[in-house]
Amino acid sequence: MRKSLLGHLAPVLLVVLWSSGFVGATFAAPVAPATTTLLWRYVVAAPLMLVAVLALRRRYRPRYLRREAVLGALGQAGYLYGVFRAVEAGLPAGTAALLASLQPALVAVVLSGFGRKGGRRQAVGLAVGFAGVALAVGPDAVAGTGTEGALWALAGMLSLSAAAVLGDLWPAPEEEHDVLDSLAMQGVVALAFFAVVALASGQAAPPADPSFWLAIAWLVGLAFLGGYGMYLYVQRTRGPVAVSTWLYLTPAVSAAWAWAMFGERLPLLTVVGFAISLAGVLVVRPAPDRERTSRDRPLADARS
């Protein structure tokens, strides 16, 4: 019963918690560079995860560590660095969300080349979802967009897409591991990446402002443990196209976070766009049991 309830609630939790990352970034932006924020997010998160897996006496083989290192470098370090650098370069949040929304279609197209056929229903759902995002972020999203920021956002989107595809195509080791293991191993990889970047740029020292640590607590508890944890869980149970498609809803939900917490305007177009994106997501999404069955078959073939 507990697993069934989590399976039904996980996509909703994914959207809400993934969107919370934009709130944490908003908290930290006035007092610290993006690189400093990302470094200290993992300075706090990675040791917590390591303590947890050590307390549980988890053991990992080199094959598993190699797989999680690659997925962590792409899905956490590469994605976050691209998004934060895009915002630093002046890319509007709506434009970043619009570019990120290319991910589900890209993942679906790439996987179709490996025998994961989605059919007309999936194509229609992806198109409807993207249209909803375009409406939610508004017609002014692309106004004044700089090339540098757009390229960083696209790089982050491509990095997360690569992680989603590889996570599906790269067979996991035979031994049983769960989301906690992935969070711990990938968090260590992200920590190493951002430590190198922050030290090289002279941005490793945290600011004295107490609001910075509030932002770090938010980013660790909600965005990392909650948002990325739910991302990994939904990807495991429903597949890479499904988890990517649910992210169509995050721009509008992020706007709702900003409206509730910072008093920012919540346009009617954003609400309408959310409803259209939700319709597209509901068209694409498979049932958890059916998705697991369809994914296990090609993975089993890959092992043989």
The number of folded domains in the chain is 1
Helix, strand, coil content of the chain in percent (nearest 5): 80, 0, 20
The answer to whether the CB of 128 falls within 8 A of the CB of 280 is yes
**pLDDT given at position 286:** 58
Per DSSP, the three-state class of 204 is coil
Cα gap 107→174, rounded to integer Å: 25
Characterise 191 by phi-psi region: left (phi > 0), alpha (psi -120 to 50), beta (else): alpha
Closest CA to 126 of 20, 7, 244, 22: 244
What phi and psi, each to the nearest 5 degrees, are found at residue 114? -110, 20
CA Rg, the chain, in Å?
19
How far does Cα 35 stand from its chain's mean position?
A: 18
The answer to whether the CB of 283 falls within 8 A of the CB of 125 is yes
Four-CA torsion 20, 236, 240, 103, nearest 10 degrees: 20
The sign one gets for the Cα dihedral 8, 11, 16, 21 is: positive
Cα gap 161→103, rounded to integer Å: 6
Closest CA to 251 of 135, 121, 125: 135
Closest CA to 179 of 56, 34, 30: 56
Owning domain of residue 175:
2-303
**pLDDT given at position 174:** 63
* Side chain identity, residue 88: E
| Structure tokens that stand for 179 in this block | 């989301």
Closest CA to 19 of 258, 242, 270: 258
Q: Mark the ranges of the chain whose per-residue pLDDT is less than 70.
A: 1-3, 92-95, 115-121, 138-146, 174-175, 285-304
What phi and psi, each to the nearest 5 degrees, are found at residue 91? -70, 130
Q: What is the pLDDT of residues 185-214, one digit of tens each?
A: 999 999 999 999 999 999 999 999 999 999
